[in-house]
Amino acid sequence: MSEKCEKCGGGLAEGSITSMYGVFFYLNETMGKLKSKRSAIVCSCCKKCGHLQDFKVKELEKLQ
């Protein structure tokens, strides 16, 4: 994970993309199936300009 904002060079804060029920990344091939593979999403936010970057799935092992 990079340590500086790719836009302005400001410091980053790590966070998650979420809603009340959670937002997940789903593998297309498992969408709609009983055991769909999904993971929460995390990313970093620039504390200076608000740019979001470093999007990653949180639980990579769940997509295997």
Binding site for Zn ion (CB under 5 A): 5, 7-8, 10, 46, 48-49, 51
- Residues with Cβ < 8 Å from 53, sequence gap 6 or more? 2, 5, 6, 12, 43, 44, 46
Closer to Zn ion at the Cβ: 4 or 58?
A: 4
Closer to Zn ion at the Cβ: 12 or 41?
A: 12
3-state secondary structure of 12: strand
Closer to Zn ion at the Cβ: 10 or 59?
A: 10
Q: How far is the CB of 18 from Zn ion (least distance, A)?
A: 21
